[in-house]
Chain A
Amino acid sequence: MSPVSRPTLLTGWGRTAPTAATVVRPRTAEQAAEALAQAGPRGALPRGLGRSYGDAAQAAGGLVLDCTELTGPPRFDPDRGEVTAPAGTGLRRLMAHLLRRGHFLPVTPGTGHVTLGGAIAADVHGKNHHVDSSIGAHVRSLTLLTPRGETLEIGPDHGDTDLFWATVGGMGLTGVITSARLAVHPVETAHMRVDTDRTGDLDSTLELMERTDHAYRYTVCWVDLLARGAATGRGVLTRAHHARVTDLPAPLRREPLRYRPGAPLSAPPWAPPRLLNRATVGAFNTAYYHAAPERRRGQAQPLGAFFHPLDQVRGWNRMYGPHGFVQYQFVVPFGEEDTLRHVVEGLSRAGAPSFLAVLKRMGEATPGPLSFPRPGWTLALDLPAEFPGLAGLLRGFDERVLAAGGRLYLAKDSRADAETVHAMYPDLPAWRKVRERVDPDGVLVSDLARRLRLV
């Protein structure tokens, strides 16, 4: 373990609101337990690859357990269709391991640069949420280190099941996940068979998604939030299945499971403020929209390009400049499309320069009290933190989302207020009860938890 005695400034992926903490990097579960036992009055928190956008993985003045060295060879069990891996294993590495064995992760978020432990703690979802739910639904078992020094094996059907679900989506506030066992599924190739459609406006986007989602395992729609007037809410809808060997063009059939994710591009180390503004993002969005085919069927696309397009550019978050950016992601139940329209039109009117706006239909929720996904529409978008009037604009959206019975995603949030989030997560008191049982002294804490008074 390499302890860093000097405080280190930490931020989330959005690079906003840095706070200082002492960082240690345990290599084994034993070292993690030792570190946790040394937490001082400002508490402790596990952290993964730092891809939550806001302040979920920082603990001001406390001890942060950087779990990215909590790794080791994954163990794949082909008979049960399961893989067990240390919690610090990156999903990209796990994906590569599984593909060599003809299997694939049950859920992968928009980046492969998250740890297994972090993915469970945020109960991440992917493009298959409408069919396969979030990652928590596929966790068979996990090992949790509690602040009192216990090591617990828990799962949806064994051990302390309440604690298991409080940990799925629990943002690292119930203990340190040290390893997990996931159900995985077989695939024939490392490619996707993708259908692409361009839509002219928000209504046709929603209609097309509603009508065709069920026929695909993976769907997602990129939305042009800067398009105005009749084109407001136009998008590019991509829907896919895992490609079978017979779907591939002949040259790819020789090594159908070959997976070569790379990050060929790197963002410059520094970008000026306001580089991403209405003009530059507007031009990008228009170009991106028109570069997409109006209608294409059965295109074979490598897994990496389909699932993790942004991983192609290392450090893309730096493009937002020194002030960083916020990501806003909410879900509203089906039938509350007006809220979606309100937000899309509001952003378009405000000229908010968002080039990563993603719309998706969600399916079944997991029982995690703090787990984000709920059946309905989810919209995720990035905005520069320096955009004038952003706080008020987003507060207005919060009210609409709450009134519609929706909620914000804690792994993305960096600015909501506590009362709003409490109202969005009515199961918070139940979650707190479980947490108080395993962490009566309140050792585990994060900036997010302090800001939103979760604990």
Chain B
Amino acid sequence: MRDSLGTVRTVLLLGGRSEIGLAVAERLVREGAREVVLAARGGVAEPPSVLKELGATVHSLEFDAEATDTHTATVAGAVGLVGDLDVVVDAFGVLGEQAEYDGDPHAAARSAAVNFTGHVSVDLAVAARLREQGHGTLVVLSSVAGVRVRRANFVYGSAKAGLDGFAQGLADSLHGSGARVLVVRPGYVATRMSAHVDPAPFPATSGQVAEAVAKGLRGKATTVWAPRVLRPVFTGMRLLPRPIWRRLGR
């Protein structure tokens, strides 16, 4: 259960090796969470030791984003391990090179299957569980890449745009059910996943994203930008005329 000051007991991380996801989990454990389930393909054999050092019990769970027919069972498996899911962090994803996708439509479609379709099925499975238990928050890692899709990474960006819209709709459908969705829109975050991408203006660290998420969880926010300045920045970006937007190098 989430307590009156926002402390939770259980965390399910979908994308159990995601650096941002793990930073959020660590942050929640620092604030008092005691059970963490790391869900990833093949499970997470060697979870970061910090979670255990901070006093949490860490569980590993098999989760294949592309095997959408297994997602309901995955969520049930997490419930079997820790009981009620207080916070579910949906943080999995892949970030490929646009140029590669241009030459390999099949690879592009597979990335979209992970970055969009996989979220649709697992988030719906999570939502059904949260609705049933009458409480809980689903944190969806969206991206500013989906706020306005750029030509430099439109396969990734369009999947994120779809995910962002899906998460907002899900949030509205859960209104009044006791369950809640928090959409997180980070900018450029330096991680293993983004190592091949040049840093963008207003970068954030995974720790900063985690802090923004924790703050959003304590309050009643529905959307979190990390860093916060990206909200006005992208409000402006959305208004840029297409010819200018198209000419922006990245």
> Which A residues are closer than 8 A to B by beta carbons?
6-7, 9, 14, 16-21, 42, 54-55, 59-62, 322-324, 326, 385, 390-391, 394, 414-415, 417, 447, 450-451
Contact = CB atoms under 8 A, between A and B. Distances in A.
Contact of A415 (B4, B84, B219): B4
Interface string B3-22: 11111010000000000000
Nearest to A323: B219
A16 B176 contact: no
B135 A61 contact: yes
Contacts of A14: 4
Nearest to B176: A9
11 contacts: A7-B134, A9-B178, A18-B135, A19-B134, A20-B177, A20-B179, A61-B135, A326-B4, A326-B5, A415-B7, A447-B1
Interface in B179-205: 179
Given A60-B84, A323-B219, A450 B1 contact: yes
A451 B9 contact: yes
A135 B245 CA distance: 71
- Most interface-central of B1, B4, B133, B179 (chain A CB within 10 A): B4
Nearest to B129: A61
Contacts of B220: 322-323
Interface string B213-244: 00000011000000000000000000000000
A42 B31 CA distance: 27
Nearest to A40: B132
Contacts of B9: 451
A110 B133 CA distance: 33
B207 interface: no
B4 A20 contact: no
The interface centre, meaning the residue of A385, A391, A414 with most chain B CB atoms within 10 A of its CB, is A391
Nearest to B83: A450
Name the residue in A6, A18, A19 with the highest tally of chain B Cβ atoms < 10 Å from its Cβ: A19
B32 interface: yes
Contacts of B5: 16, 326, 385, 390-391, 394, 414-415
Contacts of A385: 4-5
Given A7-B134, A55-B1, A451-B9, 7 more contacts: A17-B1, A17-B135, A18-B178, A19-B178, A60-B1, A385-B4, A450-B1
Nearest to A417: B32
Nearest to B3: A415
Contacts of B2: 17
A61 B178 contact: yes
A394 B5 CA distance: 11
B193 to A, nearest CB: 32
Nearest to A324: B4
A62 B84 CA distance: 13
Given A7-B176, A415-B7, A451 B1 contact: yes
A417 B176 CA distance: 27
A7 to B, nearest CB: 6
A451 B84 CA distance: 10
Contacts of B219: 323
A391 B7 contact: yes
Contact of A60 (B4, B6, B32, B133): B133
A362 B176 CA distance: 41
Contacts of B133: 42, 60-61
B7 A61 contact: no
Contacts of B178: 7, 9, 18-21, 60-61
B4 A16 contact: yes
Given A60-B84, A61-B178, A391-B31, A20 B3 contact: no
Q: Which 6 A-B pairs have the closest CB atoms?
A: A20-B178, A61-B134, A16-B4, A60-B134, A414-B4, A20-B134
Nearest to B219: A323
Nearest to B84: A450
Nearest to B174: A20
Nearest to A21: B134
A451 B3 contact: yes
A327 to B, nearest CB: 10
A15 to B, nearest CB: 9
Most buried by A among B2, B32, B134, B219: B134
Interface in B126-156: 132-135
